[in-house]
């Protein structure tokens, strides 16, 4: 790992995909709302419980806003995945913004580089089962989250 | 841009968020509410979020800000109707919304504010009128009037 490049876990999807959707742009606030609806619909299709749906949609909302506000816009892809035992929802958020210079700091509760509460990354990480982030200064940020049905 | 309607009811302001909130709409609600509190001299603000499928950190911060703002303007805010799944998610997210009072239902929220700011609801006035009317009706032999009256009285006090 080169200096300045931080990876908590590989951001490439490894779970077999069952149902794929197209890439959804995140360039306006309306897109953030749309992302919530798209993730909700897919979570319903995957027969996720209401609490898990709510956690996944909330995590997606946080990450979509990060993509828009800190990443300067980007996109999300969301798929239904299957690991042989359980189904789940995987969402990947990609931006080509300034990147995250200090990942440990960015994942700290309450720390924010902007005007938010600093719960976007740390909070959404707690809401999902798998969380991976890849970012390097100047090369943007990719966040991948997976939530499995119980 | 769309606005979330703010209803005045006695010395309360009532907001029911029925749309999937965009960030700008949430910010506009903050501004509109503080203006209406000052303009109306409202002592309480009830925010119904029963239609909200999620509350993320931005919406949570909006609710905290409204509660803090209204307190500075001498009004108490109660958020009512939070869905159980939303509450579970907020705790896990780590968002505790300090300073925001909550109640399970609109009725509980009204009771909470009524106890603190001595709200005189329009129902109280209606009750007085009804009492006067039914006293006359009783003379004409309408036996159901006393029962109806006591039920109304109980309802008014428990609410």
Q: What is the pLDDT of residues B101-132, one digit of tens each?
A: 999 999 999 999 985 445 555 655 554 444 44
d(CA B151, CA A83): 59
Q: Report in angstroms the alpha-carbon separations of B26 from A94, B92, B112.
A: 26, 22, 24
Per-residue model confidence as pLDDT tens digits over A96-124: 998 887 777 778 776 666 655 567 888 99
Please check whether residue A116 is in contact with residue B87, taking contact to mean a CB–CB distance below 8 angstroms: no
Looking at every residue in chain B, the average pLDDT score rounds to: 79
Nearest C-alpha neighbor of A91 from the set A36, A44, A139, A54: A36
More confident residue, B159 or B7: B7
d(CA A100, CA A85): 35
Please check whether residue A32 is in contact with residue A61, taking contact to mean a CB–CB distance below 8 angstroms: yes
Q: How confident is the model at residue A15 (pLDDT cuts 50, 70, 90)?
A: low
Task: Report pLDDT for A8.
Answer: 46
d(CA A104, CA A97): 18
Domains within chain B, CATH numbers bracketed: 6-117 (3.30.750.24), 122-158 (no CATH)
What mean pLDDT comes out for the span A3-9?
41
B91 CB burial (10 A radius; 0-12, 13-18, 19+): exposed
Task: Report pLDDT for A84.
Answer: 85
Domain boundaries, chain A: 15-148
Nearest C-alpha neighbor of B44 from the set B74, B64, B87: B74
Helix A29-45 to helix B23-40 angle (10° resolution) is: 110
Looking at the complex, does the CB of residue A8 fall below 8 Å from at least one CB of chain B? no
d(CA B45, CA B106): 11
Please check whether residue B62 is in contact with residue B30, taking contact to mean a CB–CB distance below 8 angstroms: yes
Q: Which chain B residues in 76-115 lie under 8 Å from chain A, judged by CB atoms?
A: 83-86, 88-89, 92-95
Task: Report pLDDT for A102.
Answer: 78
How large a percentage of chain B has pLDDT more than 70?
A: 71
What mean pLDDT comes out for the span B70-74?
96
| Residue B142 phi, psi (nearest 5) | -85, 95
d(CA A96, CA B118): 55
ipTM of model over 0.85: no
b/e code B98-133 from CB counts within 10 Å (16+ = b): eebebbeebeebbbbbbeebebebeeeeebeebeee
d(CA B155, CA A103): 57
d(CA B57, CA B90): 8
Give the least confident one: A7-11, A23-27, A49-53, A120-124: A7-11
Per-residue model confidence as pLDDT tens digits over A45-96: 999 999 999 999 999 999 999 999 999 999 999 999 988 888 999 999 999 9
Nearest C-alpha neighbor of B27 from the set B57, B51, B59: B59
Query: If you search the block for the tokens 């929802």, which residue do you land on?
Result: A89
Task: Report pLDDT for A114.
Answer: 60
d(CA B1, CA B29): 12
Task: Report pLDDT for A112.
Answer: 67
Taking the mean position of all CA atoms in its chain, how far away is CA A3?
24
Residue B140 has pLDDT above 70, yes or no: no
Q: How many helices (H) and strands (E) does chain B have?
A: 6, 5
Residues of chain A contacting residue B95, judged by C-beta atoms under 8 Å apart = 117, 119, 123
Question: Which of A40, A54, A65 is opposite residue B58, by nearest beta carbon?
Answer: A65
Looking at the complex, does the CB of residue A54 fall below 8 Å from at least one CB of chain B? yes
| Residue B145 phi, psi (nearest 5) | -60, -45
Task: Report pLDDT for B153.
Answer: 39
Residues of chain B contacting residue A61, judged by C-beta atoms under 8 Å apart = 54, 56, 58
Give the least confident one: A21-35, A57-71, A134-148, B137-151: B137-151
Q: How confident is the model at residue A2 (pLDDT cuts 50, 70, 90)?
A: very low
| Residue A24 phi, psi (nearest 5) | -105, 120
| Residue A4 phi, psi (nearest 5) | 85, -5
Run of H or E including A39 = helix A29-45
CB contact under 8 A, B57 and A116: yes
Which span out of A1-10, A71-80, B134-143 was modeled with the highest average pLDDT?
A71-80
More confident residue, A2 or A139: A139
Per-residue model confidence as pLDDT tens digits over B35-71: 999 999 999 999 999 999 999 999 999 999 999 999 9
- A15-148 has which fold? Heat Shock Protein 90 (3.30.565)
Nearest CA in chain B to A61: B56
Looking at the complex, does the CB of residue A1 fall below 8 Å from at least one CB of chain B? no
What mean pLDDT comes out for the span B23-41?
95
Task: Report pLDDT for A101.
Answer: 78
């Amino acid at each position: 790992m080169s200096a300045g490049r931080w990876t908590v876990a590989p951001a490439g999807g490894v779970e077999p995909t069952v149902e794929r959707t197209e890439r959804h742009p995140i360039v306006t606030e309306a897109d953030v709302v749309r992302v919530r609806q798209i993730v909700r619909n897919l979570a319903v299709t995957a027969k996720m419980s209401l609490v898990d749906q709510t956690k996944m949609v909330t995590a997606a909302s946080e990450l979509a806003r990060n993509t828009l506000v800190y990443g300067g816009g980007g996109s999300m892809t969301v798929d239904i995945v299957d690991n042989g035992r359980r189904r789940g929802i995987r969402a990947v958020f990609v931006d080509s913004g300034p990147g995250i210079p200090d990942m440990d700091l960015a994942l700290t509760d309450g720390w924010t580089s902007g005007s938010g509460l600093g719960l976007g990354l740390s909070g959404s990480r707690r809401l999902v089962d798998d969380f991976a982030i890849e970012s390097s200064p100047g090369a943007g940020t990719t966040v991948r989250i997976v939530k499995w049905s119980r | 841009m769309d606005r979330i309607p703010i209803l005045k009811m006695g010395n309360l302001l009532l907001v029911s968020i029925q749309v999937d909130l965009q960030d700008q709409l949430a910010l506009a609600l903050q501004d509109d509410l503080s203006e209406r509190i000052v303009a109306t001299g409202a002592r309480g603000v009830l925010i119904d979020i029963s239609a909200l499928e999620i509350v993320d950190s931005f919406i949570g911060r909006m609710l905290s800000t409204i509660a803090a703002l209204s307190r500075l303007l001498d009004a108490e805010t109660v958020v009512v109707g939070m869905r159980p799944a939303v509450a579970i998610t907020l705790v896990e997210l780590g968002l505790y919304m300090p300073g925001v009072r909550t109640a399970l239902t609109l009725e509980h929220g009204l009771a909470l504010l009524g106890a603190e700011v001595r709200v005189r609801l329009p129902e109280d006035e209606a009750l007085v009128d009804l009492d006067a009317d039914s006293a006359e009706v009783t003379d004409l032999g309408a036996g159901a009037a006393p029962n109806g009256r006591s039920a109304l009285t109980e309802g008014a006090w428990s609410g």
